[in-house]
Homo-oligomer: A and B are copies of this chain.
């Protein structure tokens, strides 16, 4: 089980490595009847492309998706949707040197330890390009959720020491700025900070936050399949993520019950929460408030300054990584976080449809 399948009902299987012929994903369990074409998916893939701003690598990745199956006369048929993105601009020569040693902060060593050898071209399967399949599948999940009245929005919450101020949330800035922050003032500071990092041949980390609106209370399963547990797995499975927070997150460990509890209150005839410290999840089940989740992303491990490491002949050496590398992973991870969140929430919604006997009787007796 090399781990490339995600989801129970809406089940995706991704494949492909950085410098292979292509990457792709198979989506099995997509409900029939959804209008779908390549453009629906391409707009999400375009958001993860590099080479688009001053703070991203000038590397060109022309990732065009093709739908190979599962759609007929413009609609999903309920059978597997196979999506393929050819690798067109990868040059293996750029990476030949790294075959001989283990880059710090990368998975070179662990892949060798596990499998006995590795595809060293551009990180192989552990490359950031692996997320193409996630984003492509996530685009379909996003479209379905929208039809159900549910929206998922990810954005950069911080880069290095610079945090976005969410009080004047600028949604449009998420997709039009280099940092993907919903705050143009913070964006400017973040870009300055990143340029500084680049000058020092260094890199920066940051936080991606994601918000789910419109999810009714009652979705998610108790115990091991809690909605927050599955969101954590989904986001921690993205390379470079090292911490996950739900709602108040790490702040809860220094909080008190009197301030951390969210009071219930009637509002327009509905039961609501006065505050949302819980981040929209109680006991692993959605509570009707917006769901808030954050992923902490480490600095790009490929840096241009000199680093110590060992080579395959077990010698201590010094290296200095070449090639084209972003000084920060965060902005390109935003759409990946959005995709993984959408996949997780949709799957929970599908599972939820059979949770009560009266639902079954309504469905089969009508």
Contact = CB atoms under 8 A, between A and B. Distances in A.
Contact of A255 (B236, B299, B314): B299
Q: Which 4 A-B pairs have the closest CB atoms?
A: A107-B283, A3-B225, A3-B221, A113-B218
A107 B226 CA distance: 12
Interface stretch (A4-12, A39-47, A51-59, A179-187): A4-12
A332 interface: no
Given A202-B257, A353-B354, 13 more contacts: A2-B78, A2-B80, A2-B225, A3-B222, A32-B357, A107-B285, A110-B283, A111-B283, A114-B355, A158-B254, A202-B258, A205-B255, A242-B250
A23 B125 CA distance: 23
A110 B287 contact: yes
Contacts of A121: 72
A315 B266 contact: yes
Q: How many copies does the complex hold?
A: 4
A263 B104 CA distance: 5
A309 B262 CA distance: 9
Given A29-B1, A205-B260, A282-B106, A222 B126 contact: yes
A263 B309 contact: yes
Contacts of A291: none
B32 A117 contact: yes
A105 B254 CA distance: 16
A237 B11 CA distance: 19
Interface string A298-321: 111111010111100011100000
Given A70-B15, A105-B282, A125-B223, A298 B255 contact: yes
Interface string A248-283: 111011111110111111100101001000110111
Contacts of A50: none
A21 interface: yes
